[in-house]
Structure 1
Amino acid sequence: MRWCDETTIRGYGIPGLLLMEQAGRGVAEIAARHYGPLDGKDVLVFCGKGNNGGDGLVVARHLLNMGASLQVVLLAPPGQLEGDAKTNFAILFKLARAHRTALKIQRYSSRLLTRRKKPDLIIDAIFGTGFSGDVRAPLGQVMTWINAQRVPVIAVDIPSGVNGTTGVAGKNAVLATRTVTFGLLKTGLLCNQGQDYCGKIDVLDIGIPPVVQKAKNLGTFLIESGDVKSVLPRRSSTAHKYSAGKVLVLAGSKGFTGAAYLCTLAALRTGAGAVLLATPESVYPVLARRLAEAIVTPFPATADGTLALASLPALQEKLKWADVLVIGPGLSTNVETQEMIRTILTTFHGNAVVDADALRVIAALGLGETARLKAKFILTPH
């Protein structure tokens, strides 16, 4: 995202001040939409010394225009502000003189927060997406105080203390109710602890041209429902369950009926026309009662209640029927069952999703023998 900002400013002549204005105004509008009306509301804005803090200064100005009562806490001396952040501080400082009661700008001190009553809303503009590591004092105490207030917190671009790329959260990272991120989603909001700290996410267009975003090969994307829908086949008006995908599920054993149940149900819910669950006769009554839509078929079981090697001939006939094989969930590590799985995996030539106990067989085969397998496998990250 930093590359996009710099290219927009230097390559296309769009001032950084304009991007900061769009960002700050957008955050204020989202605050009003979700936590308004803001007239008379007590809003506390924390601003760091970088561009994230500059965004916070713009947020404060627009919240002031909406009638909020503002306290802006600077976490660095004004003399350390640079560029667009410095410009926006100068604007806000002049407004503070004209709004002596509605807008206060103060340097942080430990006493400042110990005496303060709980605000209606907090704006977190302390650190941006480039942060990494743990937060040092006194900022750590500030962020601990923010988290202790139990009031709505809007994070500007990313919650302070969360790494924008990895999502790793430093000690005392801000727990936001809502995060307004600029231009594009940040990977740090979607992975590791980041997703626990960001609350609800709004992606705000701040005026970066689409051509800039397309010019950068980001290499990361988020799969959404529209992406999945675009690759799903359309069903014919004359389709029936046996023409809409036949799935054979080899799953379950004594003590592990849940794995077989959930896997079979998932196959049905994702649109398979017919799903046949092959499971040990020891657990057949339990699963047959719960899976009314599936074809649940019992097969010979070992003394441990797992699929026996004697099941193999009948299972190989079912494999001829299936378009897709799902194998592994809850099958167990029983030696006889593992040998049955090995025989199927080394002789099957179709499409297969391999999970759980079947992955143990793949691991035991080794890279050389696995490379010679004929089936088209999807291996789950078990």
Structure 2
Amino acid sequence: MAQIPSYLLLTSNEMAFADGMAAQSGIPSFDLMIRAGHAVAAAALSRFPEALRFTVLCGPGNNGGDGYVAARVLAAAGGRVAVFALGDTARLNGDARLAFEAWDGGVAPLEEFEPLAGDIVIDALFGAGLSRDVPPEVGKVIAAVAKAAVPVLAVDLPSGLNGRSGNILEAAFKADCTITFMARKPGHLLLPGRSLCGDIEVADIGIPGRIIEAAAGLLAENLPEIWSGLLPIAGSDSHKYRRGHLVVFSGEASKTGAARLSALAGLKTGAGLVTVASPADAMAANVAHLTAVMLRQIETEMELNEWLDSARLSAFVLGPGFGIGNRARDFVLALKNMPLVLDADGITSFKDDPAALFEAFADGKVRLVLTPHEGEFGRLFPDLAADESLSKVDKALKAAERAHAAIVYKGADTVIASPDGRAMINTNGPPWLATAGSGDVLAGMIGALLAQGMPAFEAAAAGVYLHGEAATIAGPGMTAEDLAEQAGQAMADLSRSR
């Protein structure tokens, strides 16, 4: 396969641009379609040797052309093949017309399709370029295939999914396998698309890697190859002050656990010093539970400012269990010149005046990391959250630009975005990561990486990835305490693999 970075993601427009560049470089576009169809047929034969019939559903565009080529190859290999077409085949043009004409079997209207026992459905209706709801006749076919529970192999992307957002456009196939070409699309990784793609194969159809890389934008899967060169690694000359001093703010006496989780995760992720800054009424609760993590009483904004003036403090985490209100806002604004992870209550404290937060961090290099889940995102960015025309990536990018912050838009498909237009989709978080306290641990891990000097976007991306790795190590049934304990092992494993 062409040497293409595995983390690259291409939108349908970027893939179309790559196709055009390939044609300009002298590669006939029909040759690409032939290779794509051969790849689809090879996947069908290898994955479904038990098939009694390969049913190929062909759309009116190039995705359908891939299907016609696949049908011809499958028939030549001895398979029983039936082809059903959406729309009037007399209106096919370009490469799709050539592929249709090369198919020497019959073609029936899509409306006549009925799944049979032993069928393998090859979905070549729309692919990644679909941006409108599927027609009613396609919706009926999708429902019939689901009811019959026959396997589906999707070409490029299960029909009915938006390739940029991963959203379902009225109805969509649930594929056992999806074969795409040269690079994955955002819709393969974003939910709900990820849950409908099955196993994803990326087939090399002969477009040079230099063209794919030139066509690609700033969106990628969150993988260590992107940021591992910036990951802080302890050397023989390391000492605690070089590894940074992380401060985590505690809430009141009844809500101290979240801050301690963040602090423990920060310590395990490599911060040289970690201090829990506690209000007076929570000092006793915190001192009873802290050992390697230090403790300091910080009750007022004045005390915080005095500490900032006198100590070497590297980065801060504010939000977990802190409480919502004026004190949170005052503390955040006092930290406006420092690297800060703002989570949970810290985010919600600015729901009535998000502009005050954004203005405080608007100048200079990015030093604010916001880690909202769906509800918190809507509190800071209500207009973006309500805009159904935007994908999760689009929302995160617009939020990052507005806030001049690295955004960690949490969920099973967490998106990390930067004000400069870079964005990554995270995929390594296991299902059991959705547990109470998990977000507190993530905030501490990102804070530790900030304290050790990583830039905000890379620290956020690395923290999210390591968070997923720590959860995998901890295994099903883990608690947030287990997750925090495994943060160090995840960091060590990644360091050894570099």
Question: TM-score, normalised to structure 2's length?
Answer: 0.61
Query: What are the within-5 Å matches in structure 2 for residues 266-277 of structure 1?
Result: 266-268=265-267, 270-277=269-276
Residue 8 of structure 1 corresponds to 22
Letter in 2 for 1:107: P
Identity %: 32
Alpha-carbon separation, structure 1, partners of 2:152 and 2:288? 49
Greater mean deviation of Cα atoms: 316-325 or 13-22: 316-325
Q: Does structure 2 conserve the Cα–Cα contact (< 8 Å) formed by 1:248 and 1:318?
A: no
Change in 2 beyond 3 A, CA 1:49/1:308: same
The correspondence for 1:309, drawn from 295, 300, 311, is 300
| Secondary structure, counterpart of 1:138 in structure 2 | helix
Give the superposition deviation at 1:46. Answer: 1.2
Greater mean deviation of Cα atoms: 203-212 or 307-316: 307-316
Query: What are the within-5 Å matches in structure 2 for residues 213-362 of structure 1?
Result: 213-216=212-215, 218-253=217-252, 256=255, 259-268=258-267, 270-279=269-278, 282=282, 285=285, 295=293, 297=295, 299=297, 308-309=299-300, 312=303, 316=307, 320-335=311-326, 337-338=327-328, 342-343=330-331, 345-346=333-334, 349-359=337-347, 360=349
**Is residue 2:182 matched to residue 1:183?**
yes
Give the superposition deviation at 1:82. Answer: 2.5
Residue 400 of structure 2 corresponds to none
**Is residue 2:84 matched to residue 1:82?**
no
1:338-369 deviation digits (Å, cap 9, x = unpaired): 3xx61564267532223333343694783797
| Secondary structure, counterpart of 2:66 in structure 1 | helix
1:41-61 deviation digits (Å, cap 9, x = unpaired): 443221112110111122233
Query: What are the within-5 Å matches in structure 2 for residues 192-211 of structure 1?
Result: 193-211=192-210
Alpha-carbon separation, structure 1, partners of 2:130 and 2:31? 24
1:209-254 deviation digits (Å, cap 9, x = unpaired): 2333344463433432211212213321343555433321114446
Give the superposition deviation at 1:159. Answer: 1.5
| Secondary structure, counterpart of 2:340 in structure 1 | strand
Change in 2 beyond 3 A, CA 1:313/1:185: closer
Q: Does structure 2 conserve the Cα–Cα contact (< 8 Å) formed by 1:252 and 1:283?
A: no
Q: Does structure 2 conserve the Cα–Cα contact (< 8 Å) formed by 1:40 and 1:67?
A: no
Aligned residues: 355
Q: Does structure 1 conserve the Cα–Cα contact (< 8 Å) formed by 2:267 and 2:293?
A: no
- The higher-RCO structure (CA 8 Å, 6+ apart) is 2
Q: Does structure 2 conserve the Cα–Cα contact (< 8 Å) formed by 1:279 and 1:296?
A: no
Residue 35 of structure 2 corresponds to 22
Letter in 2 for 1:154: L
Give the superposition deviation at 1:285. Answer: 4.8
RMSD: 3.7
Question: TM-score, normalised to structure 1's length?
Answer: 0.77
Letter in 2 for 1:326: V
Q: Does structure 1 conserve the Cα–Cα contact (< 8 Å) formed by 2:51 and 2:120?
A: no
Alpha-carbon separation, structure 1, partners of 2:150 and 2:183? 27
Change in 2 beyond 3 A, CA 1:275/1:39: same
Residue 43 of structure 1 corresponds to 54
Alpha-carbon separation, structure 2, partners of 1:287 and 1:30? 60
Letter in 1 for 2:182: G
Change in 2 beyond 3 A, CA 1:72/1:319: farther
Alpha-carbon separation, structure 1, partners of 2:296 and 2:258? 16
